[in-house]
Amino acid sequence: MSSRKLKNILVTGGAGFIGSNFINYLFGMSATGEKAFMDSGFTGNIVNVDCLTYAGNLENLAQVEEKFGGKRYFFEKVDICDRAEIERIFKQYDIDTVIHFAAESHVDRSILGPEAFVRTNVMGTFTLLDVARTYWNVSLDNPRDDVLFHHISTDEVYGSLGKTGYFTETTPYDPRSPYSSSKASSDHLVMAYYHTYALPITLSNCTNNYGPYQFPEKLLPLMISNIRDGKNLPVYGEGLNIRDWIYVEDHNRAVWQIVNDGKTGEKYNIGGENEWQNIKLLHKVIELTSAEVGKSAAEVEKTIVHVKDRPGHDARYAIDCTKIKKELGWERKMTFEQGLSMTVKWYLTHPDWVNHILSGEYKNWINRNYSDR
Ligand code: NAD
Ligand code: DAU
């Protein structure tokens, strides 16, 4: 049972990869069948605010919409930078909890066009914080413990690690890309609203997520769909950069635990304790995907192309998640073997979802911006 009494939760970015997995998980519609709501005794409502950028896709939530739409689940196509609309939503649904996923999330796009990242990640987060502060009427003179703003962030705010060491909650911020610096700015605003206005907040910084519904511009779904389609597999530089991978539902369970039981004003690191060099991970994905689609792994290996490296490419991310384990008893449930195999199968058995994305605006964007894929 939860220690916070949540009633009406505003989830931002709920049509994106992690946000839609979060809503599916809450309502028991995810691949693993976990039912966070039922298990935690939550009986309130979810309001999903998403302006449906290229990354937002309501197909991800079709089952939730069908079963709970208009009853416990409500969708609002609204931009988080639109203050008047955000104020209306707080009032109309009497929001007491915000779980803020909405963001521009792709590092490569932030290098090609940083403005959208500053707008959504900085101004959008500011708008939500400020509407929450005013609607909830909180201040140092009027503190409250019956409302909460949870901000979802990334390990990229900590910068780049060398061969050893881990990011902890006290690692100084050192963002390198327009994406990570916009997320760092949003984290700072969140902490500022806590210290200055007593806005009850929690914050989480997570490593690379993988799982169903991830937009195929990100490494894993991109490689799986390119293997399926016989396309080249673009590896940035030598492929020696290291990322720490976590199954999306393990991340979302951590978020749900923080929202229910996390300490107000605290930040929590969430990680997979599962580091992979990009090139080694790609070999693994080739092995799994080739077997599923009846291709020879040796032939698919030949389609790897080493392309121009990402500017400012962070060498290594790795998270120390001792705090959330110790304080909230959070544990990962998915092994990487199982999660990766499920994920490969998911993309291959959902061709309509993948093809729909690959055929539209995304295809034009790729053609406009890249000549090497
Ligand atoms: P995503 O790009 O798949 O989804 C983002 C969602 O936000 C989309 O549905 C989009 O339509 C919506 N959105 C964007 N701008 C908006 C705006 N101005 N108003 C309303 N909605 C808007 O992103 P994701 O990978 O699901 O990431 C979700 C959050 O988790 C982000 O805050 C990201 O920084 C963070 N995060 C992601 C990862 C990862 O591996 N993907 C890891 C750690 C943290
Ligand atoms: O660490 C958390 C972050 O993980 C999140 O905050 C971001 O929202 C999310 O996009 C992700 O960022 P990355 O840049 O790590 O993810 P991406 O999938 O873009 O790239 C993973 C690694 O693979 C990275 O080292 C770059 C490399 N890469 C990526 C692509 C798309 C390639 O070599 N080739 C590619 O085509």
Above 90 in pLDDT, residue 123?
yes
Please give the residue that has the higher pLDDT: either 360 or 276: 276
Name the pairing type of β-strands 242-247 and 97-100: unpaired
* pLDDT tens figures, 276-303: 999 999 999 999 999 999 999 999 999 9
Predicted pLDDT at 185? 98
What is the predicted pLDDT for the residue at 363?
75
At residue 36 the predicted structure's pLDDT band, cuts being 50, 70 and 90, is confident
Burial of 359 (0-12, 13-18, 19+ CB in 10 A): exposed
CA 23, CA 21: separation in Å to the nearest integer? Answer: 6
For residue range 163-211, what is the model confidence (pLDDT) as tens digits? Answer: 999 999 999 999 999 999 999 999 999 999 999 999 999 999 999 999 9
C-alpha 31/C-alpha 211 separation (Å) is 10
**Tokens (6 digits) for 32:** 């693993």
Instruction: Check residue 369 and give its pLDDT.
Output: 81
* Distances 107 to 111, 189, 217, 263 between C-alpha atoms, Å: 7, 21, 10, 30
The predicted structure's pLDDT at residue 372: 67
Tens of pLDDT, residue by residue over 223-234, are: 999 999 999 999
pLDDT tens per residue, range 76-101: 999 999 999 999 999 999 999 999 99
Confidence band for 373, pLDDT divided at 50, 70 and 90: low
Instruction: Give yes or no for a contact between 253 and 325, defined as CB atoms under 8 angstroms apart.
Output: no
The one catalytic residue among 179, 197, 268, 347: 179
Q: Which ligand sits closest to the CA of 244? A: 2
Q: How many Å apart are CA 215 and CA 106, to the nearest integer?
A: 10
229 catalytic residue (yes or no):
no
Output the pLDDT for position 10.
98
* pLDDT range class, residue 144, cuts 50, 70, 90: very high
- Answer for the pair 275, 166: CB distance below 8 angstroms, yes or no: no
Cα separation, 357 vs 258, whole angstroms? 33
Q: Is the pLDDT assigned to residue 2 strictly greater than 70?
A: no
What residue ranges do the domains of the chain occupy?
8-213+248-273+313-333
368 has a pLDDT exceeding 90: no
Whole-number average pLDDT of the chain? 95
Q: What is the mean pLDDT of residues 33-45?
A: 78
For residue 44, report the distance from its CA to the centre of ligand 2, in Å: 35
Average pLDDT over residues 337-348: 97
What local confidence, expressed as pLDDT, does residue 339 receive?
A: 98
Residues 242-277 have pLDDT tens digits of 999 999 999 999 999 999 999 999 999 999 999 999
CA distance 68 to 344: 29
Q: What are phi and psi of 101, to 5 degrees?
A: -95, -25
Q: Is residue 1 predicted with pLDDT exceeding 60?
A: no
What the block records as the tokens of 114 is 């940083």
Pair 44, 8: CB distance under 8 Å:
yes
pLDDT tens figures, 131-143: 999 999 999 999 9
Predicted pLDDT of residue 358: 86
Burial bucket for residue 308 (CB in 10 Å: 0-12, 13-18, 19+): exposed
Protein residue whose Cα sits closest to atom 16 of ligand 2? 218
User: Which of the residues 155, 169, 249, 275 is marked catalytic?
Assistant: 155
- Classify residue 36 as exposed, middle or buried by CB count within 10 Å of its CB (0-12, 13-18, 19+): buried
Render the burial of 60-89: b for 16+ CB within 10 Å, e for the rest. Answer: bbeebbeebeeebbbbbebbbbebebbeeb
pLDDT score at 367: 78
Q: Is the pLDDT at 361 greater than 90, yes or no?
A: no
* Distance from Cα 217 to the centre of ligand 2, integer Å: 9
Residue 117 has pLDDT above 70, yes or no: yes
| pLDDT score for 188 | 98
Q: Could you tell me the CA-to-CA distances from 57 to 50, 110, 340, 357 in Å, in that order?
A: 9, 20, 22, 9
Ligand 1 pocket, residues with Cβ under 6 angstroms: 13, 15-19, 50-53, 55-56, 79-81, 101-105, 120, 124, 152, 154, 183, 206, 208-209, 215
Tokens of 248: 């999306």
CATH architecture of 8-213+248-273+313-333: 3-Layer(aba) Sandwich (3.40)
Give me the pLDDT at residue 130, please: 98
**Encoding tokens for residue 314?**
């962070």
> Hunting for tokens 């990322």 — which residue is that?
243
Query: Tokens standing for 132?
Result: 């929450």
109 CB within 6 A, ligand 2: no
Q: Looking up tokens 């998915």, which residue turns up?
A: 334
Structure tokens at 137: 């009427």
